[in-house]
Structure 1
Amino acid sequence: MKKRRIDIVPLTDQALALLEAIKPYSGHREYVFPADRNPRTHCNSLTTNMALTRMGLEGRLVSHGMRSMASTTLNEHG
């Protein structure tokens, strides 16, 4: 939801195929990225940052930075 209104975003065939391919990892649950402790809820924003820290990227990369890089790269490629 965005500003308390439903925000419908059309997905490409490739995005739909990717979501279908990762269903086995999410256990066919409601959320694409379920929480590890309670899979009936979604993981929170800190989960990605914790994973990056465990990979040794603390202080060099945060999840929002990844989103920003992806957005820039995808926009550059049309």
Structure 2
Amino acid sequence: MSTPQKTTVEPGHEGPVTLQISRRVVTGREADYEDWLHGVVEAASDFPGHLGVNILRPSGKTDGRYVLIYRFDSFAHCEAW
């Protein structure tokens, strides 16, 4: 396996940005979280540069957490969101 290359770039030249957020949800509040999640995903889709989102629901592979993976076309657009 190769080691990822580390480079320094000027802002605006970094290319796509991926952001991962994970949360544990209090037992019994899953439906509330799903409702909130739907709204957040919809809001993110309206932001400039939004490239998509993946939702990983709690499982053994996520250690029981919700994991949200957002993608934006630049750091500036990710920061604005």
**TM-score above 0.5, yes or no:** no
Shorter-chain TM-score category? under 0.3
Say which structure, 1 or 2, has more relative contact order (CA 8 Å, 6+ apart): 2
Q: TM-score, normalised by structure 2?
A: 0.26
Higher helix share: 1
Higher strand share: 2
